[in-house]
Structure 1
Amino acid sequence: MHFLIHRLLAIGLLASAIPGVQTHSIDKPAKLRTIVTTDMEQDDLASLIRYILYTNDLDTQGIIYTSSRYHWAGDGKGTEFFLPGREYNTSQTSWRWTGTQTIQDKILKAYAKVYPNLRRHDPSYPTPNELLSKMDHDTDGSNLIRSLLLNEDPRPLYLQAWGGTSTIARALKSIEERYSASWQWPRIRDLVSRKAVILASGFQDETYVDYIAPTWPQIRVEELSAGYSTWGYNCNQGQGNTRGLPDDHVYFTGDWIRANIEMGPYGKLYRSWLDGQSMPGDPEDIFGNITKASSPTAWCKPLGQYDFLSEGDDVAFNPLLTTGIQDPSNPNLGSWGGRAKQNTTSPDLWGMVETEKAENGTEVENYTTNRWIAAVQNDFAARMHWTITPEYRKGNHAPSVDILNGKSVKAYPGSTVKLSSQVSDPDGDHVTTSWWQYFEEGTYPGAVTVTANHNHGATVKIPADAKPGQTISVIVQGTDDGHFPLTRYDRVFIHVV
């Protein structure tokens, strides 16, 4: 305890109690339980800037520094290591290690400055001290994960691997070492396998293949690196990272990011192209400097100043964000995190789907994540605006949309289903609704006619060739008319009988 108090005083967060301010009560679904493990390279920093603005909606139980094949500290004794296929060609004592203080010394200090404003927009935001207490500075990260997997909380624990899975693997290994010879082992192994869900932004070390997959095959693991096409560097063939659907590319431009994200004491920490920033300890972080970024040996050609650089680890937490249709217990369903499919049942490994159908019925590559860009980016911008906006009425807050028919309805082939929804907005904004079929979520293989009306409802014509047992997924989305239009959703499954 004395260490913790000293630490809080040292970084200036202990005196963060906020005097009485007007806040607004918000009804929320039960929060999902999650841990972030990160190697804190620059795209991790950018992802964490976004992630912390959603900690009001998630139960963050740990933020843990970890290593990967790209970032490691060495053993502290000067021992040299060489592994083939890496970015170096001579032995190293450490590689691109950015340390274990960036989050505390930079991000949480800036968060403390904007926390009073965030709290006015949603009192569910954790205090700076609460976030600091989730750091692993006074305990080993793997021990924290182990204790959370073994505690009495029955909720799933979503383990985000932004770097390698080594820390998660070490936690699982310590459980195996402690209990594998015990009569309790079958029960504990089953408990942990059901509770742990690993959301990995790629396998950045060998611990999944070498240990987790063969030893813990029933743990669901989602390998989500396909989402890099939307949120990663995308430096293939040196062409830079222009991305997104044509109508949504504006959200990745320097003009939009500079005006809407890199603002105030918190937003200015966000990373973009040629922003003058760099991560201490990482010689490969040349993205902020025009001279270094333009070098003939640079692996990624620079774009314009403040253009989108990378938030590769968004892929690990976007499936958890509260939108109205998120269901991380079922990766087959779509959300801002995209939709996944099961690659193998043992080990229980999932990967993101390659294509989905656009509104015109054509298959579009990376559409499972690209379809949400406008909604995701406007939501990020609205929350960043909260950090500099002390008055609730001057911020925009998301609407809610609820289908009144329930989560499922039954219908016969050739029949018509009438759907209705209830829409509200905390700011009194006008909300426009639209309805659409999510082709891949249902089992009926064809297109279905969905016709919206002026009362936030719709009619769905069930095709005559639909067969009993097939399902049709219909989504309603409501978008307000705020400065940053915010969108929420609901879903109904029509079961053909």
Structure 2
Amino acid sequence: MEMRSWKSLAIVAALMLGAPTAALAAEGPAKARLVVLSDIENEPDDTQSFVRLLLYANEIDLEALVATTSTHMRQEIHPESIRRLVAAYGQVRPNLLLHAGGYPTAQALDAVIRAGQPGYGLAATGPGKDTEGSRAIIAALDRPDPRPLWVSVWGGANTLAQALKTLSATRSPAEVERLVAKLRVYTISDQDDAGAWIRRTYPSLFYIVSPGGYGAATWGGMNQAVEGLDNTTVSNAWLATNIQQGRGPLGALYPDVAYGMEGDTPAFLNLIPTGLSDPEHPDWGGWGGRYERYIPAMEAMDPKGFTGGVPIEPETRPIWTNAVDAFTPHAASANGRAVRPSARTFQDYRATIWRWRDAFQNDFAARIGWSTLPREKANHPPIVALDHPDRLTVRAGETFTLSARGSRDPDGDSLSYLWANYPEAGSLKTPIPPGGSDNIYRVHFTAPPVTRPETAHFVVAVTDKGSPPLTRYRRVIVTILPR
């Protein structure tokens, strides 16, 4: 018992210092670098999204948190509201460190809070209109860091437009091209007139957006109650019980829903390392949705829908935008096979978020639990292993086996498995069914006939039986060659 106590103390000490420990997690991918542009105080959903983001501050390098305007709040900004949330984070950080390492200090986060221009859109940009926020973007781009810089735009994009205008006015065309190549932008629709200008002016810029009316936006899958789906985890009652009440200072600051719960959150969900998404491949899909690169038709942008008065312009070049998934939920069975596909399939661009929604909501509930609970009373996500490489090559007609043998849970919880082909993510769009039950750790598939090399994506979701249940993933990409 004495040796075990010393081991526990050593683990806790390592976590407090932010050091990685093999006892808790394997080394994962490099953290994403993130700048957030937020029209916080326009309505409650930005505050909601910040609460979630701060709970994942150990998984993402937050390089600037910028208060901006939008079409819904044109002449004011509220950096003080971000500071209030960071102060609450500071109160719970010591407890968060009992559960995972790497949480930055509140002082470090407070130091990257910035103000954008307190004016609307492109009219508030140009010579002499640099702000703390636009300078922070330029400084982040100038750092000798090989990782891309993500800019997550929850309101208007004019702070990013100002940074790009300043770069174009002060740097050589080659240098501007080099820096633009480092940017990855995800905007929650267009909430000022700067977004369309940026896409038109910098045609090589990596840009994810659902332009046009909000009713045609992938991010709507975050909060919409859908007939035929279990909408419990996005209900007000669930939020009150699992996030707001009795969940410490951050939970107490999570406001009630006014228009839609956390409409901005999809702009960073795919940056959380769960084993599911690869931010460089939006077409692979993840918690924040799936996107394909093309020029959307004007009629697909909901041109008569609500935009807050922002004009809808025809796109002039391919962008990462709405992609349609066919999603069949699984439901628990009382007897026999633990889960079975339900009778209904949803085919929609928002289904690229719906299919993961319970998992990321449960993960959020567990994280906010970390802010108050001791380690032994909280749940922690499973660690997923593969019994083979994550890239395989087979020939048409061959049977191949995918296995998550070796997966484990840090809390000792029992694990459930669910394997699925994700046809929309690969070049082969025809679904490949499992050759038996899909909810065991090892599943067989047979490669279908092909006339040219094709890729097929398979995802295993491993879920523990803790409270709330937590899910992590591994993706296997199989190249199928003709016979």
TM range (shorter): 0.7 to 0.9
Does 1:319 find its partner at 2:270?
yes
Partner of 1:257: 239
Does 1:458 find its partner at 2:443?
yes
Counterparts in 2 of 1:52 and 1:163: CA distance versus 1, 3 Å: same
Q: Report the CA distance between 1:349 and its aligned residue.
A: 1.4
Does 1:169 find its partner at 2:169?
no
Does 1:215 find its partner at 2:201?
yes
Moved more, 133-142 or 191-200: 133-142
Q: Report the CA distance between 1:363 and its aligned residue.
A: 4.9
Does 1:126 find its partner at 2:104?
yes
Partner of 1:56: 58
Counterpart selection for 2:408 from 424, 434, 437? 424
What amino acid does structure 1 have at the position aligned with 2:140?
L
Does 1:116 find its partner at 2:94?
yes
Counterpart selection for 1:381 from 365, 368, 388? 365
What amino acid does structure 1 have at the position aligned with 2:28?
K
Does 1:157 find its partner at 2:149?
yes
Counterpart selection for 2:189 from 202, 205, 229? 202
Counterparts in 2 of 1:467 and 1:361: CA distance versus 1, 3 Å: farther
What amino acid does structure 2 have at the position aligned with 1:29?
P
Counterparts in 2 of 1:62 and 1:414: CA distance versus 1, 3 Å: same
Does 1:472 find its partner at 2:459?
no
Deviations 1:105-124 (A, max 9, x none): x2122111111111111121
Partner of 2:222: 231
In 1: Cα distance, 2:92 partner to 2:409 partner: 24
Kept in 1: contact 2:38–2:69 (CA 8 A)? yes
Partner of 2:293: 342
Q: Report the CA distance between 1:356 and its aligned residue.
A: 2.7
In 2: Cα distance, 1:123 partner to 1:387 partner: 13
Partner of 1:92: none
Aligned partner of residue 251 in structure 1, secondary structure? helix
Give the TM-score taking structure 2 as reference length. Answer: 0.79
Counterpart selection for 1:248 from 230, 249, 272? 230
Counterparts in 2 of 1:259 and 1:434: CA distance versus 1, 3 Å: same
Counterparts in 2 of 1:244 and 1:130: CA distance versus 1, 3 Å: farther
Q: Report the CA distance between 1:213 and its aligned residue.
A: 2.1
Kept in 2: contact 1:34–1:62 (CA 8 A)? yes
Kept in 1: contact 2:156–2:191 (CA 8 A)? yes
Counterpart selection for 2:432 from 422, 443, 448? 448
Aligned partner of residue 401 in structure 1, secondary structure? coil
Kept in 1: contact 2:284–2:290 (CA 8 A)? yes
Moved more, 395-404 or 35-44: 395-404
Q: Report the CA distance between 1:98 and its aligned residue.
A: 5.6
Kept in 1: contact 2:219–2:289 (CA 8 A)? no
Partner of 1:372: 356
Residue-pair matches, total: 404
Aligned partner of residue 424 in structure 1, secondary structure? coil
Deviations 1:17-58 (A, max 9, x none): xxx964543433210111101010311111111111111100
Partner of 1:310: 261
Counterparts in 2 of 1:490 and 1:268: CA distance versus 1, 3 Å: same
Deviations 1:445-488 (A, max 9, x none): 3221213588621111112x333311211111100000110001
What amino acid does structure 1 have at the position aligned with 2:147?
R
In 1: Cα distance, 2:200 partner to 2:220 partner: 29
Query: What is the root-mean-square deviation of aligned Cα atoms in Å?
Result: 2.3
1:2-81 aligned at under 5 Å gives the runs 22=13, 24=15, 25=21, 26=25, 27-40=27-40, 41=42, 42-73=44-75
Moved more, 363-372 or 113-122: 363-372
Partner of 1:330: 281
Counterparts in 2 of 1:452 and 1:423: CA distance versus 1, 3 Å: farther
Q: Report the CA distance between 1:149 and its aligned residue.
A: 1.4
Q: Report the CA distance between 1:404 and its aligned residue.
A: 2.8
What amino acid does structure 2 have at the position aligned with 1:126?
P
Q: Report the CA distance between 1:153 and its aligned residue.
A: 1.2
Aligned partner of residue 185 in structure 2, secondary structure? strand
Kept in 2: contact 1:244–1:370 (CA 8 A)? no
In 2: Cα distance, 1:384 partner to 1:246 partner: 28
Aligned partner of residue 121 in structure 1, secondary structure? coil
Kept in 2: contact 1:39–1:68 (CA 8 A)? yes
In 2: Cα distance, 1:410 partner to 1:157 partner: 33
Does 1:191 find its partner at 2:178?
yes
